[in-house]
Amino acid sequence: MIREQGTCLQTSACRGLRHMRSTARLALIATVWLAAGAGLPQRADAETWIPRAQGFFGLQGDHLGTSIAIRTVLGSNNTRVVTRVYVGVPDRDVGAMADAGEVQIFDPAPNGWEYVGSLFSNVSQAGAHFGASIAVDDGTVLVGAPDYTNGATSGAGRIEFWVDSGTPTLTFRGARTGNGGNFGSDVAIDGIMAVASVPNAGGGSGCIATYRYNASNTTWENFPNVPSLRCGSSGAALGASVAIKQITDQAFLVIAGAPGESQGANLLAGAAHVYAPSTSQTTDGGLIEVGTLAAQPPGAFEVFGTSVGIDANFVYVGATGRDNGAGRVGSVTIFKPAFIIGYDYLAEYFPSPPATVGGLCGASLSVDEVYGQFIMGCPNSTGTVAHEGTARVYRQFEFLGQTVWTDSVLGFGQLAHGGDGLGRSVVMSGDHAFVGAPDANFPPPQTGNGVWKEFQPDVIFRNGFQ
């Protein structure tokens, strides 16, 4: 379902909604018209995506699949090839340290994927939940441990930068430790720019911090050279979700969701804020706000900003509380840069039926800029089993001379499953989608093992048997 109006504008859900940071993954995605993307099939009907039978489960209580990320390289014909999958296991015990967390690494194999090793924190700590969030770009891996304790400060949080040279063993590049508020609840990286969130800072106001890689001393430094934070209004939970787009080696755009922000009398209506660096700005993390985004029109308890994404053309903002007329199935609103300054509203997309009211569509969101598509998770959606979860891929097609988006549903299908929370984490590139289900139980009566799955389009049905 699409709602249009006139022009105006992985992953920290270790154990449900333990912290406000988890709302970063509780949004619903809708889509918008885009310019045609290279290599996309030109058809208007939804595709059939099927899960590969292969699956990797965690141990009891691991919640494997809470976060997920991939590394891609340039292949033939200007395509991208997925060369590595990183899966967060934030509740994995490391020795005697309960819930210290790890990131599992998988490489391509003849029959799918194979586990090749694990990444552990440089300073593993009980209850830190290393791997609750992951971001990857090229050879840099950024991992959050939002419950890391710094001295006497519990929930201080920590982020770690690692270098992946293609071997199972990664090289530690550096870390930053927070002062409370669950620093590292969400992270994002693009090129030499990165952002980390502190959504519970200031009693729930939330903050973000931005970084740039300095090649001369091989370290990640605060950029633009201001060690302070950019924070939100009271109760806004700024940074519940973050995304970043590098513009030059001196500039970037950061999108930070603030799902707790009020709009007038509408409590928890939510918002998203767009920031850019300013060398003349000596406070607020050196960031200036260049856009404030809200639902059109805003309503109470819509938690707009629970997920965000950005590519070269658009900004995507999810809101799990948006109502399609049947109930709060959620949506994604798309914005484009305005002619002079700020952002214009373009369109709002709701998931096509069947859409579960309260299904938490948009609990996760990942934009595949190269192929002009994105994927969202709906981890509370009900199918043959209550709360089994789904994911939805939105692809761009030509229809009656216009570029539109259609969504395809990704689910367990005939594979054995339960209330697994499929879609808590998502990422994709081309015809490969990777989805985490951290609540999967295997084998019963074990609980909370978690699993991740790869999905691909069914080639038999893809072209209508042609």
Q: Which two tokens stand for residue 32?
A: 């918008």
The residues pairing with 456 across neighbouring beta strands, listed in sequence order, are 50
Query: Domain containing 361: what range?
Result: 2-462
The residues pairing with 418 across neighbouring beta strands, listed in sequence order, are none
pLDDT in the model for residue 8 = 28
Q: DSSP letters along 217-272, please? A: TTEEEETTS--S-EE-STT--TTSEEEEEE-SSS-EEEEEEETT--BTTBTT-BEE
Token pair 């390289």 is found at: 73
pLDDT in the model for residue 78 = 82
pLDDT in the model for residue 231 = 97
pLDDT in the model for residue 221 = 94
Q: CA-based angle 350:373:407, to the nearest 5? A: 40
Rg (CA), the chain: 20
pLDDT in the model for residue 76 = 85
Q: Which two tokens stand for residue 31?
A: 């889509």
Overall number of domains in the chain: 1
Separation of CA 334 from chain center: 16
Task: Please report the beta strands in 121-170, taking only residues with DSSP state E, as ranges in sequence order.
Answer: 133-137, 140-145, 158-163
Q: Which two tokens stand for residue 4?
A: 């249009």
The span from the CA of 233 to the CA of 244, in Å, is 21
Q: CA-based angle 351:27:286, to the nearest 5? A: 135
Separation of CA 231 from chain center: 20
Given CA atoms 373, 103, 91, 205 in this order, what sign does their dihedral have? negative
Give the model confidence (pLDDT) of 284-312 as tens digits: 999 999 999 999 999 999 999 999 999 99
Q: φ, ψ for residue 76 (rounded to 5)?
A: -75, 155
Residue stretches of the chain with pLDDT short of 70? 1-45, 402-403, 460-466
Instruction: Return the amino acid letter for 7.
Output: T
H helical segments located in 352-464: 459-462
Q: Which two tokens stand for residue 314?
A: 């658009």
Distances (CA, A) of 276 to 234, 334, 379: 22, 19, 32
Using DSSP, state whether 286 is helix, strand or coil: helix
The span from the CA of 125 to the CA of 422, in Å, is 28
Q: DSSP letters along 39-67, please? A: T----SSPPPEEE-S--EE--TT--BTSS
For residue 298, the tally of other CB atoms under 10 A from its CB is 18
pLDDT in the model for residue 45 = 58
Task: Order across the sheet with 112-119: list the strands.
Answer: 68-74, 80-89, 102-109, 112-119
Distances (CA, A) of 412 to 52, 265, 393, 415: 9, 41, 15, 5
Looking at residue 352, the DSSP 8-state letter turns out to be: P
pLDDT in the model for residue 1 = 52
User: Residue 38 is part of a domain; what is its CATH number?
Assistant: 2.130.10.130
CB-based contact 306:361 (threshold 8 Å): no
Residue 144 contacts by C-beta under 8 Å, 6 or more apart in sequence? Answer: 12, 130, 131, 132, 133, 134, 157, 158, 159, 183, 184, 185, 186, 187, 196
